[in-house]
């Protein structure tokens, strides 16, 4: 030991100084050495940032992961990603709790014993895949590849759905479904405009935004994109400030931020829209030019057979005068007049509808009525109106030759489409899906793949769907967690969490420009999990060469590269980049967009993965022909498309006759007759008379689909607005509460014809008097330690009702009784 | 009698002084157990004969908060297959390198994790010599077995006061 | 000497709650057990207030994010018996966890209820400990904690600025909430710097402070068109 | 009665009493030092030292007075009987 | 000399008896109390181990029973020293059997009360930080100083008048002679010693009163120095002092009645003592009401919204029952009981005193909790339910008080014997002389 005496003395004085607890007494230092070594950081603490795409919900925000010595510790929004521009939502911030969740499935699992027994045994990847492949080969060998179904819960347009579709097609099954409602939700636009896409709204340029139940700041497809827009609307000077009017049964986040909240009875949005149309027509506040030249069925018209048909105008004028509408909706007639006049007189004004409007049995018709207001205002192809975004120039998956077995399988009728006349515009109806599988109609399903989404938690017909899952001999789940749905799986092939995997997303619905986002791993996989896409490639290789040919890629990452290469070749758009630090508004208005400079695809790819995405802000002006792909080539108030569909249905029921027509309309539950059926109209929602209160559910930013329930941070924040944590509540208007003798923070029973739930009452003046609302997302019976047993799932007492046209679950069609729980 | 009383009290004083001393010694010495490193690294030889500087191995001293202790990745740059000396310590090192196993160095200098201490701040910006806190390491033929200078708050603050730099709590506490 | 301040534009803020989550993630704020939250022991450095106004159906709701206000004349530091909470020359009201004796006098004295207390030892699942932010120390049971304006970021930013021998730039030092606000409603910067956004906004006619009459002079300034 | 035993007992008790009085003084002086230390800290940290000084101005004399009263009583008791003690103990 | 001594023994034997005779009751009481205290100690250790989470305190209500009890016990402590000092100062002759009892309450209760803030600490292991890094700017430190000063002063004030009695015990012999010898400080009862003692007591008397008043004012500063509605009030100082004296007298009455019953002191504590003291209690009750009234009047008249929130919460909120029972216990019952001769019996006075003590505890509760439960910001109000830990520490604290008192009465006479003697021998003459000096008539020239 060569420590000098002086040093030793210094040491001694230093230590005894600590002992003597001097002026700044830091007593903890006494026990330092051991503690120090324990607490000392392990690495140098080198910070790196990686850009990727958030996978917490379908919005697809660009995020930046802060990694310290390779371990992700913090997330912030990617400031250059055009969708969210650095913004994030609470749920995105809890992504690390997905990655590091203690309840993750760490290796492939095989069920032991009965379904839902909760007992699992580990199985090697190879065995599991071989087992599935053998089953699939067997089905193909007996010529029944169509008896395989794939249920994809992601509601996100990207590469994954194409990947699965390609696989299923090559295998020979028409039964690939996205259980999200994205495709179903386009039904109104299919009927009115013939467009199979959700519109985007140019909110930035509009001066008056009338939202029919569209909770775009919270429940929309991309709440953060709309929050950014909202923020810019509010940033503008007082003069000419955009007014936002929200029509909703309760004060949602959007209503709270709107200038005016108009409470409305659930299920009557369509009537209100038509009431507003009445005023617009009466007071001649509509766009004459547009109506005259680009619309069909506004006035009464005569077809080539000489039959006069009812026009939109006559229908509205005769049936939807404000007093009548006021009776239906509960909105005072003066209010209807006022908003209609404001709407008609503001240039420009835009009307949007979602959630409240569409989540009901009459959703499609209501949304048609709402959208027809945009037509009255001539809101197509103009600033501050409605527009449709182009698809990015991505490469389609390479074409392949399907073999005979596959061709035969693909020719079969998809099992989730209705065999009778229900839900004519449904792309996927869970109601038909369960009914048909349970009845082996037209054929049984032997293998079901489940990817993302936890459909069992969200379905109204919980029992039937559970039975379906029990019935199917082999259910394979790709879930990285054991959810309610995967409790019924036979094999779980755990997927990576989104922070460990490659994926590619494009064009988040309703976002107003073309964009592509690249999701990439920010950390090596923590456990023995595999990207579901890679598993599918592997499976295809195991099954048959002809199936394998459809997905000729080493890995999913290569597939993404392949698909993106066309983006590079197209020369359109640009990789998102910093550089321009101007505001977002200026970004959008910037038309002369310059293309980034990259000399090779490799360079492009490197930059793309580094920056996290590509976008093309230039919106091509489209002429009306492209916007209206209807038989008339115009905006059809009178939907000829719908008329054709109904006619086809009538034909299948036995040919045109008034009886058959009546039969079809009756089985569709459409109450009106004649031409009104094809016009936007109000369909009364069938409700129980003996129940006094409407029951609705809503979603919160903290837990949009119940998928964040296994993240303690989100569970804690769940009801931050009402200061309820880890718990559900029911919002009741104070006056209603008084009527039923209910006090704040007391438990109440909510009883519907289906069942009853016990929830804590929270009095809230921001809800209609005849409505009670429970947030959706909690009440899990599985899904890990943080989710199981907290809160209540309101879906369990909803009636088994669906939109009569597109088969979406009707979340607001139930009425209930409430009473104080003792 | 009085004498006895006096003796008693004397005894008492001596005894209590002894107890206090024992406590102090126990705390001072007991607080740093002598740490023996897995390899008895010779700083002197590396600096004088291999002509290395601190930064060559403690890579992040000038740029990062933590200086880091070099491990096999850095050692193996020089110590590849052939031993350079006949030191038994080098044999140990080569074994670690061969097996690709990290050397389990024991840290003897560390601040508690509620303290933000940055080497960059002190070395690069403050231009304080390493020896100020770590002592004359270049003269050491074996690694120090306990910290030369304890990072107690008193020590930090007295030095900060001496150099007239901030001793605001939030400058270090986090 | 800079004076750090925050401006929250309530007209832009939607009340999405992202600031709360960002704060929890950045500052390793403990997630207490559900039973504890029921007892009112939930910990948010950044909290959210809901203000209801008006009679049905003309109800208005405003959600207001509420961090520590870092008052210039903080009532909390006056009562602290041990210098555990204090105001530094840059206007940050610091909380020194290892000094705090847990008397909770500062919590009782704070008119904004901005402080939270560790009633139990904060706990994380072993897996979650991996991703705790190493820049922020973990608190222990029995101490008071609160929003620090992410002062640990300032330590780094200052060091970067010093290393490059320059002043801290406007927007270089940002707390997590301000950084990730999707509505860009939270501004942060130096009140002494006349060029800074925060300085300009603080002079806006829309600017107001919570409980201004108390003379605490909070450095979190709200903007709202007063209706 | 054994007088030597008695006186030795008296002696021990007397020292104990003296010790207790000095303990009180130590206590009081410690408080004074403590308060002065707090003042110096608050001056050092620029932390409204005025209040500290005001309090110390009140508190320190109070403690000193109390200690003085005790000492006065103790000394007063023994002053009177000093002659008796001297007589009995001799020495 | 010896004759005289035996004579006094005969007369005041009742006062010595508890010291020399130990019954089963004593052991039983001490045993039970020790068990309660042990349980409380266990609960405290548990609290230190797990953290303050075991209490019922929560986010807005960050202070609970411990602070309530702290204020309450310090309030009770005003029984003693202050009352005895005032009575001594005013030469009220009826004080002689009471003063010791009152002073003992002070000393014991102050020690207990002073410990409560430490019990309340989240990190009791860091309590030394107060000494190494304290801030005298904090009202909490003012408390530490003033309580220490008051404790020292009142212990001295208890001890000095006890010296002659200790000497008496020493002279009586017995097992603890050496202990009494040590404590008697060589008291021989000489004139010089008496003079010294009297002078010291006189100085102390004058000193103790301002200290006592200041202590409770300083306690009130803990609250009134903050900006919280319901706390930030200028009359808090005197309000607390009045409340303290009020509860102190009630506690003193309870103790007197208890010891009168247990030690059979009917000959010493006569009805007149109770009547005098209860009149004082009545006055304090009225004063207390006056202060309460003006406290709320200023609040309601000013109608500052946050202040009104708290006041309405107290009047109608979940703690309203405590508020109104406080008014009943502190004002209505004592005023009714003590105003009518019919009720002003020992039993009646005991009843009124007990309600006052409970009522004053409720008052402290009503000061601490509602203000905290109603934060100024829109966060909703909080609720506070004390946990088992807090209850057991409360009961434990009371047990410590009772145990302390029981043990004190085991070792020292509970009534000042020499003062009684002095009263018998000299004061009648002295009083006569003094009263004469008050009476109208020709001014006495110095003879």
Chain A residues with beta carbon closer than 8 angstroms to that of C223 = none
Which is more confident, A579 or A763?
A763
Where are any strands of DSSP class E within A291-432? 295-296, 301-302, 308-309, 349-353, 386-387
Closest approach of E20 to chain A, Cα-based (Å): 47
Does any CB of chain C come closer than 8 Å to the CB of residue A718?
no
Chain D residues with beta carbon closer than 8 angstroms to that of B9 = 15
What is the per-residue pLDDT across A126-141, written as a single tens digit (0 to 9) for each? 999 999 999 999 999 9
User: Does A716 sit within 8 Å of C16, measured CB to CB?
Assistant: no
CATH number of the domain encompassing residue C159 = 3.30.70.20
Chain A residues with beta carbon closer than 8 angstroms to that of C26 = 74
Nearest to B174 among C86, C89, C135 (CB): C135
| Encoded tokens for A264 | 């409305």
What is the per-residue pLDDT across A433-455, written as a single tens digit (0 to 9) for each? 999 999 988 899 999 999 988 88
Domain span holding position D63: 3-89
C177: Cβ contacts below 8 Å, ≥ 6 apart: C18, C19, C20, C22, C23, C46, C65, C67, C186
Whether there are 3 or more C-beta pairs closer than 8 Å between E and B is no
At the second CATH level, the architecture of E2-123+140-422 is Up-down Bundle (1.20)
Task: Evaluate whether A637 touches A312 at the Cβ level (below 8 Å).
Answer: yes
C92: nearest CA partner in chain B: B170
Domain span holding position C8: 4-223
pLDDT of residue B25: 66
Chain B residues with beta carbon closer than 8 angstroms to that of A46 = 60, 64
- The CA-atom distances, in angstroms, between A240 and each of A40, A235, A254, B147, C182 are 58, 11, 20, 68, 23
From the list A805, A799, A691, the residue with the least C-alpha distance to A192 is A805
Count of domains observed in chain C: 1
Average pLDDT, chain A: 86
pLDDT of residue B43: 87
Asked if pLDDT for residue A669 goes beyond 70, the answer is yes
Which domains are delineated in chain A?
Answer: 5-39 (no CATH), 109-183+394-422+449-560 (3.40.50.740), 200-387 (3.40.228.10), 693-820 (2.40.40.20)
Asked if pLDDT for residue C218 goes beyond 50, the answer is yes
Tally of CB atoms within 10 A around A48: 12
Which uninterrupted H or E stretch holds E408?
helix E388-411
User: Does D69 sit within 8 Å of E203, measured CB to CB?
Assistant: yes
CA distance A232 to A239: 14
Asked if pLDDT for residue B83 goes beyond 80, the answer is no
Asked if pLDDT for residue B126 goes beyond 70, the answer is yes
> Which chains touch C (3+ CB pairs under 8 A)?
A, B, D, E
Task: Evaluate whether B123 touches B62 at the Cβ level (below 8 Å).
Answer: yes
Does any CB of chain D come closer than 8 Å to the CB of residue B164?
no
Chain B residues with beta carbon closer than 8 angstroms to that of A29 = 112, 150, 152-153
D38: nearest CA partner in chain A: A23
Which is more confident, A25 or B65?
B65
If pLDDT is split at 50, 70 and 90, which confidence band does C227 have? low
> Which chains touch B (3+ CB pairs under 8 A)?
A, C, D
Asked if pLDDT for residue A164 goes beyond 90, the answer is yes
C41: Cβ contacts below 8 Å, ≥ 6 apart: C32, C117, C119, E53, E58, E59
pLDDT of residue D58: 81
Task: List phi, psi (to 5°) of A504.
Answer: -140, 135
With H, G, I as helix, E, B as strand and everything else as coil, classify residue E377: coil
Chain C residues with beta carbon closer than 8 angstroms to that of D34 = none
**In a 10 Å sphere around its CB, with 0-12 CB exposed, 13-18 middle and 19+ buried, how is residue A319 labelled?**
middle
Asked if pLDDT for residue A21 goes beyond 60, the answer is no
Does any CB of chain A come closer than 8 Å to the CB of residue D51?
no
What are the sequence ranges of the domains in chain E? 2-123+140-422
Q: In this structure, what DSSP letter does residue B39 have?
A: S
| Encoded tokens for C175 | 């707390």
Burial readout D22-53 (b: 16 or more C-beta within 10 A, e: otherwise): eebbeebeebbebbeebbebbeebebebebbe
Closest approach of D20 to chain A, Cα-based (Å): 26
In chain A, pLDDT over 70 holds for what percent of residues? Answer: 91
Asked if pLDDT for residue A35 goes beyond 80, the answer is no
A84: Cβ contacts below 8 Å, ≥ 6 apart: A59, A61, A62, A77, A78, A222, A224, A225, A228, C182
Which of E173, E185, E211 should one mutate to test binding to chain D, selecting the residue with the greatest count of D CBs within 10 A?
E185
Whether there are 3 or more C-beta pairs closer than 8 Å between C and D is yes
- The CA-atom distances, in angstroms, between E421 and each of A26, A211, E426, E427, E428 are 57, 94, 8, 9, 11
> C85 pairs with which residues across the strands?
C95
If pLDDT is split at 50, 70 and 90, which confidence band does A179 have? confident
pLDDT of residue A778: 92
User: Does A45 sit within 8 Å of B106, measured CB to CB?
Assistant: no
Which of A5, A23, A28, A33 should one mutate to test binding to chain B, selecting the residue with the greatest count of B CBs within 10 A?
A33
A20: Cβ contacts below 8 Å, ≥ 6 apart: none
> C144 pairs with which residues across the strands?
C117
In total, chain B counts a number of residues equal to 174
What is the per-residue pLDDT across C21-40, written as a single tens digit (0 to 9) for each? 999 999 999 999 999 888 88
User: Does A224 sit within 8 Å of C42, measured CB to CB?
Assistant: no
What is the per-residue pLDDT across A292-317, written as a single tens digit (0 to 9) for each? 999 999 999 998 888 899 999 999 99
What is the per-residue pLDDT across A767-789, written as a single tens digit (0 to 9) for each? 999 999 999 999 999 899 999 99
Does any CB of chain B come closer than 8 Å to the CB of residue C1?
no
> A308 pairs with which residues across the strands?
A302
Task: List phi, psi (to 5°) of A581.
Answer: -105, 15
C-D CB pairs within 8 A amount to 5
Burial readout E294-305 (b: 16 or more C-beta within 10 A, e: otherwise): ebeeebeeeebe
Average pLDDT, chain B: 80
| Encoded tokens for A72 | 């992700």
Nearest to E138 among C42, C81, C143 (CB): C81
CA distance E374 to E380: 7
Q: Which residue has the tokens 């690694």?
A: B143
Residue ranges of chain E whose pLDDT lies below 50:
1-8, 446-447
Asked if pLDDT for residue A283 goes beyond 80, the answer is yes
A7: nearest CA partner in chain B: B148
From the list A90, B150, B5, the residue with the least C-alpha distance to D16 is B5
What is the per-residue pLDDT across E292-315, written as a single tens digit (0 to 9) for each? 999 899 888 888 888 888 899 999
Nearest to C15 among A72, A253, A717 (CB): A253
pLDDT of residue A338: 94
User: Does E375 sit within 8 Å of C82, measured CB to CB?
Assistant: no
pLDDT of residue A237: 61
Closest approach of E403 to chain D, Cα-based (Å): 25
What is the per-residue pLDDT across C150-203, written as a single tens digit (0 to 9) for each? 999 999 999 999 988 998 988 889 999 999 999 989 999 999 989 889 999 999
Taking any CB pair shorter than 8 Å as contact, residues of chain D touching chain C are: 41, 45, 47
Closest approach of A45 to chain B, Cα-based (Å): 7
CA distance B114 to E135: 23
What is the per-residue pLDDT across B18-44, written as a single tens digit (0 to 9) for each? 777 777 766 655 555 577 788 888 888
CA dihedral A419, A422, A424, A428 (to 10 degrees): -80
Mean pLDDT of D36-54: 78
From the list A733, A728, A725, the residue with the least C-alpha distance to A763 is A733
Chain B residues with beta carbon closer than 8 angstroms to that of C138 = 113
Chain C residues with beta carbon closer than 8 angstroms to that of B110 = none
Mean pLDDT of A711-716: 92
Asked if pLDDT for residue C145 goes beyond 50, the answer is yes
User: Does A3 sit within 8 Å of B135, measured CB to CB?
Assistant: yes
Asked if pLDDT for residue D35 goes beyond 70, the answer is yes
Count of domains observed in chain D: 1
Cis peptide before A442 (omega within 30 of 0): yes
CA distance A542 to A540: 5
Does any CB of chain E come closer than 8 Å to the CB of residue A23?
yes
User: Does A10 sit within 8 Å of B149, measured CB to CB?
Assistant: yes
């Amino acid at each position: 030991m060569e420590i000098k005496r002086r040093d030793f003395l210094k040491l001694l004085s230093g230590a005894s100084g600590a002992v003597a607890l001097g002026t700044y007494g830091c007593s903890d230092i006494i026990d330092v050495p051991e503690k120090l070594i324990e607490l000392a950081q392990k690495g140098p603490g080198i910070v790196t940032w990686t850009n990727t795409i958030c996978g917490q919900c379908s919005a697809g925000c660009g995020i930046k992961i802060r990694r310290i010595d390779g371990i992700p510790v913090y997330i912030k929004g990617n400031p250059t990603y055009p969708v969210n521009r650095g913004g994030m939502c609470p749920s995105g911030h809890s992504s690390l709790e997905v990655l590091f969740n203690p309840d993750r499935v760490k290796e492939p699992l095989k069920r032991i014993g009965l379904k839902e027994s909760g007992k699992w045994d580990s199985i090697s990847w190879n065995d599991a895949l071989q087992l599935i492949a053998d089953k699939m080969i067997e089905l193909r060998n007996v010529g029944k590849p169509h008896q395989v179904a794939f249920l994809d819960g992601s509601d996100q347009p990207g590469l994954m759905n194409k990947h699965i579709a390609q696989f299923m097609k090559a295998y020979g099954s028409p039964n690939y479904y996205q259980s999200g409602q994205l495709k179903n939700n386009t039904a109104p636009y299919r009927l009115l405009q013939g467009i199979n896409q959700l519109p985007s709204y140019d909110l930035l340029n509009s001066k008056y935004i009338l939202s029919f139940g569209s909770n775009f700041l919270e429940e929309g497809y991309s709440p953060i994109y709309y929050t950014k827009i909202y923020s810019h609307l509010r940033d503008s000077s007082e003069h000419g400030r955009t007014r936002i009017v929200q029509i909703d049964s309760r004060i949602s986040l959007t209503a709270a931020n709107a200038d005016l909240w108009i409470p409305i009875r659930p299920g009557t949005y369509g009537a209100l829209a038509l009431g507003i149309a009445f005023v617009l027509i009466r007071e001649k506040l509509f766009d004459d030019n547009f109506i005259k030249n680009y619309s069909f069925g506004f006035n009464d018209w005569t077809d080539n057979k000489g039959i006069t048909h009812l026009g939109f105008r006559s229908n509205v004028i005769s049936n939807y005068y404000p007093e009548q509408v006021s009776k239906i909706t509960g909105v005072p007639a003066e209010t209807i007049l006022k908003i209609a006049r404001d709407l008609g007189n503001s240039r420009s004004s835009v009307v949007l509808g979602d959630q409240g409007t569409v989540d009901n049995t009459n959703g499609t018709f209501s949304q048609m009525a709402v959208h027809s207001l945009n037509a009255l205002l001539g809101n197509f192809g103009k600033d501050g109106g409605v527009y449709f975004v182009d698809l990015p120039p991505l490469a389609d998956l390479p074409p392949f030759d399907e073999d005979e077995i596959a061709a035969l399988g693909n020719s079969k009728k998809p099992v989730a489409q209705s065999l009778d006349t229900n839900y004519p515009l449904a792309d996927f109806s869970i109601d038909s899906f369960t009914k048909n599988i349970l009845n082996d109609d037209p054929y049984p399903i032997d293998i079901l793949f489940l990817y993302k989404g936890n459909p069992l938690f969200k379905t109204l017909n919980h029992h039937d769907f559970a039975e379906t899952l029990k019935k199917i001999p082999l259910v394979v789940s790709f879930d990285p967690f054991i959810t309610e749905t995967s409790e019924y799986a036979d094999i779980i092939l755990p997927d990576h969490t989104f922070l460990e995997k490659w994926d590619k997303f494009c064009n988040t619905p309703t976002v107003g420009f073309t964009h592509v986002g690249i999701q990439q791993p920010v950390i090596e996989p923590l456990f023995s999990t595999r990207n579901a896409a890679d598993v599918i490639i592997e499976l295809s290789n195991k099954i048959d060469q002809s199936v394998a040919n459809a997905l000729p890629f080493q890995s999913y990452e290569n597939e993404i590269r392949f698909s993106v290469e066309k983006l590079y070749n197209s020369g359109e758009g640009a990789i998102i980049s910093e550089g321009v630090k101007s505001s977002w508004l200026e970004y959008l208005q910037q038309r002369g967009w310059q293309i980034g400079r990259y000399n090779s695809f490799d360079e492009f790819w490197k930059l793309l993965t580094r920056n996290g995405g590509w976008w093309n802000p230039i919106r091509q002006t489209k002429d009306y022909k492209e916007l209206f792909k209807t038989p008339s080539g115009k905006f059809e108030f009178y939907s000829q498309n719908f008329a054709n569909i109904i006619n086809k249905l009538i034909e299948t029921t036995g040919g045109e006759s008034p009886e058959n027509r009546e039969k079809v309309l009756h089985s569709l539950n459409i109450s009106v007759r004649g031409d009104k059926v094809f016009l936007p109209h109000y369909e009364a929602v069938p409700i129980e008379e003996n129940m006094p209160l409407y029951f609705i559910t809503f979603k919160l930013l903290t837990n949009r689909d119940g998928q964040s329930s296994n993240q303690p941070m989100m569970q804690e924040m769940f009801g931050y607005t009402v200061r309820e944590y880890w718990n559900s509540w029911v919002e009741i208007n104070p006056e209603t509460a008084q009527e039923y003798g209910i006090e704040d923070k007391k438990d109440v029973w909510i009883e519907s014809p289906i069942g009853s739930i016990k929830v804590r009452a929270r009095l809230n003046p921001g809800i209609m008097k005849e409505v009670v609302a429970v947030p959706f997302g909690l009440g899990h019976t599985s899904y890990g330690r943080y989710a199981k047993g907290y809160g209540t799932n309101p879906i369990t007492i909803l009636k088994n009702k669906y939109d009569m046209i597109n088969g979406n679950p009707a979340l607001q069609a139930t009425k209930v009784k409430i009473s104080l729980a003792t | 009698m009085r004498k006895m009383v006096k003796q008693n009290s004397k005894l008492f004083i001596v005894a209590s002084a002894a107890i206090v001393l024992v406590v102090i010694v126990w705390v001072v010495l007991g607080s740093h157990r002598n740490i023996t490193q897995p390899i008895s690294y010779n700083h002197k030889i590396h600096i004088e004969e291999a002509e290395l500087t601190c930064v060559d191995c403690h890579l992040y001293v000038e740029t990062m908060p933590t200086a880091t202790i070099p491990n096999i990745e850095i050692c193996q740059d020089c110590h590849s297959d052939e031993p350079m000396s006949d030191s038994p310590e080098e044999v140990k090192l080569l074994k670690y390198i061969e097996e690709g196993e990290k050397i389990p160095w024991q840290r003897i200098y560390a601040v508690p994790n509620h303290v933000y201490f940055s080497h960059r701040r002190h070395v690069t910006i403050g231009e304080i010599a390493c020896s100020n806190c770590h002592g004359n390491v270049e003269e050491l033929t074996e690694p120090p077995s306990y910290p030369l200078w304890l990072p107690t708050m008193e020590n930090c603050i007295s030095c900060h006061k001496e150099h007239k730099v901030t001793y605001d709590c939030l400058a270090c506490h986090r | 000497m800079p004076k750090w301040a925050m401006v929250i534009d309530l007209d832009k803020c939607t009340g999405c709650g992202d600031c709360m989550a960002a704060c929890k993630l950045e500052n390793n704020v403990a997630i207490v057990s559900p039973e504890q939250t029921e007892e009112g022991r939930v910990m948010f450095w950044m909290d959210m207030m809901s203000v209801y106004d008006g009679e049905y159906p003309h109800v208005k709701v405003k959600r207001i994010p509420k961090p520590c206000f870092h008052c210039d004349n903080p009532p909390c530091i006056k009562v602290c018996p041990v210098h555990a909470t204090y105001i530094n020359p840059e206007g940050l009201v610091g909380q020194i966890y290892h000094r705090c004796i847990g008397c909770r006098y500062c919590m009782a004295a704070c008119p904004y209820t901005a402080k939270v207390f560790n009633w139990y030892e904060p706990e994380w699942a072993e897996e979650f400990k991996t991703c705790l932010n190493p820049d922020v120390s973990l608190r222990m049971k029995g101490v008071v904690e609160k929003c620090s304006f992410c002062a640990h970021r300032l330590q780094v930013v200052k060091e970067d600025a010093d290393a490059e021998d320059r002043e801290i730039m406007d927007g270089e030092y940002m707390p997590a909430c301000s950084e990730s606000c999707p509505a860009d409603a939270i501004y942060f910067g130096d009140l002494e710097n006349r060029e800074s956004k925060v300085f300009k906004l603080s002079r806006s006619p829309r600017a107001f402070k919570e409980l201004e009459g108390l003379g605490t002079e909070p450095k979190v300034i709200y903007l709202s068109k007063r209706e | 009665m054994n007088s030597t035993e008695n006186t030795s007992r008296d002696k021990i008790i007397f020292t104990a009493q003296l010790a207790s009085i000095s303990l009180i003084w130590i206590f009081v002086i410690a408080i004074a030092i403590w308060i002065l230390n707090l003042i110096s800290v608050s001056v050092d940290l620029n932390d409204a030292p005025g209040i500290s000084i005001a309090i110390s101005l009140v508190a320190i004399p109070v403690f000193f007075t109390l200690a003085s009263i005790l000492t006065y009583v103790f000394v007063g008791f023994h002053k009177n009987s000093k002659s008796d003690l001297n007589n009995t103990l001799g020495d | 000399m010896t004759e005289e001594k035996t004579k006094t023994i005969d007369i005041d034997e009742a006062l010595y008896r508890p010291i020399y005779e130990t019954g089963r009751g004593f052991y039983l009481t001490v045993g039970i109390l020790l068990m309660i205290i042990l349980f409380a100690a266990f609960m405290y250790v548990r609290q230190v181990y797990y953290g303050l989470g075991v209490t019922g305190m929560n986010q807005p209500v960050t202070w609970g029973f411990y602070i309530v009890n702290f204020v309450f016990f310090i309030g009770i402590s005003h029984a003693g020293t202050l009352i005895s000092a005032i009575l001594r100062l005013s030469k009220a002759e009826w004080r002689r059997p009471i003063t010791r009892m009152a002073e003992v309450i002070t000393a014991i209760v102050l020690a207990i009360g002073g410990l409560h803030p430490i019990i309340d600490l989240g990190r009791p292991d860091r309590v030394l930080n107060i000494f190494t890094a304290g801030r005298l700017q904090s009202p909490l430190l003012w408390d530490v100083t003033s309580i220490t000063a008051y404790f020292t002063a009142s212990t001295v004030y208890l001890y000095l008048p006890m010296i002659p009695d200790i000497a008496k015990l020493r002279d009586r012999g017995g097992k603890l002679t050496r202990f009494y010898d040590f404590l008697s400080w060589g008291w021989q009862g000489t004139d010089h010693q008496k003079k010294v003692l009297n002078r010291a007591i006189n100085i102390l008397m004058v000193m103790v009163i301002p200290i006592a008043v200041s202590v409770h004012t300083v306690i009130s500063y803990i609250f009134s120095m903050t900006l919280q509605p319901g706390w930030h009030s200028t009359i808090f100082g005197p309000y607390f002092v009045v409340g303290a004296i009020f509860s102190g007298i009630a506690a003193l009455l309870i103790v007197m009645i208890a010891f009168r019953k247990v030690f059979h002191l009917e000959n010493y504590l006569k009805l007149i003592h109770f009547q005098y003291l209860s009149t004082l209690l009545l006055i304090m009750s009225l004063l207390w009401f006056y202060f309460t009234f003006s406290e709320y009047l200023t609040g309601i008249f000013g109608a500052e919204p946050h202040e009104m929130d708290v006041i309405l919460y107290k009047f109608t909120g979940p703690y309203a029952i405590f508020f109104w029972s406080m008014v009943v216990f502190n004002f209505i019952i004592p005023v009714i009981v003590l105003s009518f001769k019919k009720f002003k019996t020992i039993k009646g006075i005991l009843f009124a005193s007990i309600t006052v003590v409970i009522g004053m505890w409720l008052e402290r509760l009503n000061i601490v909790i509602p203000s905290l439960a109603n934060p100024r910001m829109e966060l909703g109000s909080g609720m506070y339910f004390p946990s088992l830990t807090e209850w057991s520490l409360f009961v434990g604290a009371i047990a410590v008080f009772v145990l302390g008192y029981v043990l004190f009465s085991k070792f020292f006479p509970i009534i000042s014997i020499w003062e009684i003697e002095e009263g018998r021998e000299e004061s009648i003459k002295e009083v006569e002389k003094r009263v004469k000096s008050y009476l109208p008539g020709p001014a006495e020239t110095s003879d």
